[in-house]
């Protein structure tokens, strides 16, 4: 998660509001300017985090050497949040607990 925080220092137009991980995925609540394509923001985060992780953990270079996918999967899910941003932020904060039945997402 520190890797992503370092990336947005170089790209201040991408703001990470909330972030949390689970066993095999990450949830981000971000804000990007209307002039930036969502795909560009995702590309910036994936490309730069891959470079940083490969520098920090050299074994990843050989582990994903022949993979078209690399460290990240090709896909991503995006939705705009509007007034539901607080609900989404709470969900992300509880990421990992929800799947274990330790937290319940309540829509108020």
Is residue 101 pLDDT above 60, yes or no?
A: no
| Beta carbons of 14 and 41 less than 8 angstroms apart | yes
Write the CB contacts of 9 (distance below 8 Å, at least 6 apart in sequence).
none
In a domain, 98, yes or no: no
In a domain, 92, yes or no: no
In a domain, 102, yes or no: no
pLDDT, position 5: 86
In a domain, 65, yes or no: yes
What CATH number is given to the structural domain containing 59? Answer: 3.30.70.1290
Mean pLDDT of 34-56: 90
Total domain count, the chain? 1
Dist CA 38 CA 3 (whole Å): 19
In a domain, 100, yes or no: no
Dist CA 103 CA 70 (whole Å): 32
Domain residues for 41? 2-80
Dist CA 60 CA 40 (whole Å): 24
2 vs 16 pLDDT, higher one: 16
Mean pLDDT of 43-67: 83
| Beta carbons of 22 and 99 less than 8 angstroms apart | yes
The dihedrals phi and psi of 69, each to the nearest 5 degrees, come to -80, -40
Residue matched to tokens 């560009």: 40
Predicted confidence band at 61 (pLDDT cuts at 50, 70, 90)? confident
In a domain, 61, yes or no: yes
Predicted confidence band at 83 (pLDDT cuts at 50, 70, 90)? low
pLDDT, position 69: 52
Dist CA 29 CA 38 (whole Å): 12
Mean pLDDT of 74-87: 77
């Amino acid at each position: 998660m520190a890797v992503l925080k370092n990336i947005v220092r170089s790209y201040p137009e991408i703001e990470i509001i909330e972030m949390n991980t689970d066993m095999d995925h990450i949830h981000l609540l971000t804000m990007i300017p209307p002039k930036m394509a969502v795909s560009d923001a995702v590309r910036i985060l994936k490309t730069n985090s891959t470079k940083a992780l490969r520098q920090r953990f050299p074994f990843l270079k050989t582990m994903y050497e022949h993979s078209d996918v690399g460290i990240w999967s090709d896909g991503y899910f995006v939705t705009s949040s509007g007034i539901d941003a607080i609900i989404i932020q709470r969900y992300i904060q509880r990421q990992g607990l929800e799947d274990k039945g330790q937290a319940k997402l309540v829509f108020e």
